[in-house]
A and B are shown apart, each in its own frame.
Chain A
Amino acid sequence: MHMDTASTHASQMHEETFLDSNEIVINMGPQHPSTHGVLRVVLRLDGEKILGSECVIGYLHRGVEKIAENRTYAQFNPYVDRMDYVAAVSNGLGYCEAVEKLMNAVAPPRAQYVRVILTELNRIASHLLWLGTHALDIGALTPLFYCFREREEILKIFENYCGARLTTHAFRIGGLQYETYDGFEKEVKTFCEDFAKKVDEYETLLTGNRIWVGRTTGVGVINADACIQYGVTGPVLRAAGVKWDIRKAQPYCCYPDFDFDIPTAQNGDTFDRYVVRMEEMRQSRRIIMQAVEKIPDGPIMAKIPKVIKPPVGEVYHSIEAPKGELGYLIVSDNSTQPYRVRVRPPSFVNLQALDVMVRGHLVADVVAIIGTIDIVLGEVDR
């Protein structure tokens, strides 16, 4: 009897397998050249068409939020750089501002201006890395090197300022640790002046190219409603036509002092996200130019106690990181260590939308879409 059941089962299995033989499941990652780190995507394919996808994350999980509970506020500051390591300065800004909000402290104007300059430089660096790798995923080998050439200039400015290029730990709670170096303004200005031409140069390589347009238009479309439902923010949301930028919507630091536009697009496809990010680089450049002109003199640290012991309470503070809304929820129990730190990383939230974006497309589009969401696995997994 048992034997019979087994054999019937086996024959059924065989038939099923035979009938489903045009559907295959492939594992993209965690060791794959285009998943931007250790992302693993399980794809169900009909030929090359994607029927469904599932993200498997956690290969880079380090328990950053838990670590926070065993460190003092100042000690945890360098850790946040290791989340979105492509935009470490933005992470630092979010964290420092969140703790300052918790302590009711405000960084002095000069510190705020330097923060804006460095953060916007970092936004450009992050977008350059995105552009280079995104183009590389779609098969354009050369833009990557041009992007890295300019990114190098930005990293040199970071290095001159704080000694580190990637995980900068540029800001301190209450302001800045270091005064700017001699020639900082001049270097930043020179970079900005050259950079305008460079963005146009990237655009000549890609924007009008019919292969590029063909590969990106109508690929990975996500509309405004879906974006809002999934909590998607940043350029992905703006490319879907929602004019939402925290720098304008919930101003922080000294952003209200500057004149800049929020680029948006309508179709919410990969090409629109490309256009939005390219324009964002130009806008960041505009902000930096204004900030360098107006940078005030004065102290760089607010008067904060040596031992940071914020009053009991909780605070949520979010900033516009290059990839979207980066939020920190910090709960204090009036001790030297945070009771709980919760990070709302833009990459993690935006990655949720991958499945709706890839369905019905081809395998080649998956890499384009992963690239266009602009994820950093350090931030997704934390």
Chain B
Amino acid sequence: MNPAQLVELLAVAKPYIIMALVVAVFPLMAGYIVLLERKVMADMQVRLGPMRVGPHGILQPLADALKLMLKEDIIPARVDKWVFWFAPVIPVLTALTAFAVLPFSESYYVTKLNIGIIFILAMTSIGVLGIMLGGWASNSSYPLLGALRSTAQLVSYEVAMGFAVVSAVMVAGTLSMTEIVLHQQASGVWFIFYQPLGFFIYLVAAMAETNRAPFDMPEAESELVAGFMTEYSGFRWSLYFLAEYANIFVVCSIAVTLFFGGWLRPFAGTAAFNFLDWFPALCAIGVGGGCLMLAGRQSIPGFKIGLGAFGGLIVLIGLVFAIPVVIPYISGPFWFFFKVFCIIYMFMWARFTFPRYRYDQLMALGWRVMIPLGIGNLLVTALLILVHMGGFK
């Protein structure tokens, strides 16, 4: 096999490799998003969060996953067995399918679909089906109420979200996720500056769409126990959980792609800001250095060695990131994930700060505020594009 053939083979295999990576790695990443969420929550609530499993709780997600998988698989007696069995699979399936069109960088993606954004919206909409079916099949009143709420909520916020997305798409003039980013690269301006209101509407609608507080109606734990998931436990429950976090990742990715220039470095076109290319390396070295510092303070020898090795590894990765040849390859994915996590942090921040909306207030906000705002934003955008025809091209 000569090198040319190998390159060709790699090009063909790339989507499959990325696909396999998403399916294999995302569940782990979801676990770590949960850990991050618990740590952020703890930080905001003057406490430490998980500290027992591994140094500073860094092995907590693995322990949780193991626990969930080993739990007894309970199917209550009077449920609709097949639907109950299948319902949690749907949201995971759709959420992971949506990853197919996410451009992690200019060259890392599964497929370059020319209607990428519509594909994602369609997938997240189908995901609601899993919640509805799960609530219905449970044959119990709390899940039923949770499912009813979520159906109404997701259907109404999808409209507002659609308007926000369409506004950004109109500015870009394309539905392809990759093309949208390339447009931002070409114009040198992230769409957030053209569409601040659009971003706000999108953010609020996305929080509602992913059932996050302050819009976590379907599973409002203080009212409906666990909403549509009340009768679920163990592995099936963790599938819903996984789907929720996968959806959060997907909606945050859309936000980054539409409004924050996707994989682009800040000031991507300006040579004066080229020093930002070193940011990934600095980040990794900083995190690794922090780990090494904390490793010194661990009292348990195993934790000391483990955290030290982990910190050392991260520092090494950081050093690799600093090699100029490597920078073009990692810059895209790094900035993409960095921005996605910034938005995920905003989601968490909102969750720990705000009380929960009531169901009727949520609907009123959706229909009376978000949708009119979305339409208004769309009209103004359309008008501006018409006036400055060619200005965005």
Q: Is A149 an interface residue (CB 8 A)?
A: yes
Decide: B216 and A141 in contact? CB cutoff 8 A.
Answer: no
Q: Is B353 an interface residue (CB 8 A)?
A: yes
Chain A residue numbers with a CB within 8 Å of B353 are: 140, 142, 205
Evaluate whether A215 and B357 lie within 8 angstroms (CB atoms) in the complex, with A26-B142, A48-B145, A363-B145 already known. yes
Q: B141 touches which one: A24, A144, A206, A214 (CB < 8 A)?
A: A24
Decide: A137 and B224 in contact? CB cutoff 8 A.
Answer: no
Decide: A142 and B359 in contact? CB cutoff 8 A.
Answer: no
Cross-chain pairs A/B with CB under 8 angstroms, 20 sampled:
A34-B222, A48-B149, A138-B356, A139-B214, A139-B220, A139-B356, A141-B351, A145-B45, A145-B46, A146-B45, A149-B46, A211-B354, A211-B355, A211-B356, A215-B357, A362-B360, A363-B145, A363-B224, A366-B223, A367-B222
Instruction: Look across to chain A and name the residue whose beta carbon is closest to the beta carbon of B360.
Output: A362
Q: Is the interface of B mostly helix, strand, loop or mixed?
A: helix
Contact mask B170-203 → A, CB, 8 Å, 1/0? 0000000000000000000000000000000000
A141 to B354, CA, bound (A): 8
Decide: A364 and B359 in contact? CB cutoff 8 A.
Answer: yes
Q: Is B71 an interface residue (CB 8 A)?
A: no
Q: Residues of A within 8 Å of B, CB-based: how many? A: 32
Decide: B354 and A33 in contact? CB cutoff 8 A.
Answer: no
Decide: A142 and B145 in contact? CB cutoff 8 A.
Answer: no
A365 to B223, CA, bound (A): 9
Q: Is A295 an interface residue (CB 8 A)?
A: no
Chain B residue numbers with a CB within 8 Å of A142 are: 44-45, 352-353
Instruction: Look across to chain A and name the residue whose beta carbon is closest to the beta carbon of B351.
Output: A141
A367 to B351, CA, bound (A): 19
Decide: A33 and B45 in contact? CB cutoff 8 A.
Answer: no
Decide: B358 and A33 in contact? CB cutoff 8 A.
Answer: no
Residues of A at the B interface (CB closer than 8 Å) are: 24, 26, 32-34, 47-48, 135-142, 144-146, 149, 205-206, 209, 211-212, 214-215, 362-367
Decide: B141 and A362 in contact? CB cutoff 8 A.
Answer: no
Decide: A139 and B216 in contact? CB cutoff 8 A.
Answer: yes
Q: A215 touches which one: B47, B141, B148, B355 (CB < 8 A)?
A: B355
Decide: B355 and A135 in contact? CB cutoff 8 A.
Answer: yes
Chain B residue numbers with a CB within 8 Å of A214 are: 357-358, 361
Chain A residue numbers with a CB within 8 Å of B73 are: none
Decide: A26 and B141 in contact? CB cutoff 8 A.
Answer: yes
Chain B residue numbers with a CB within 8 Å of A136 are: 222
A364 to B214, CA, bound (A): 13
Chain B residue numbers with a CB within 8 Å of A146 are: 45-46
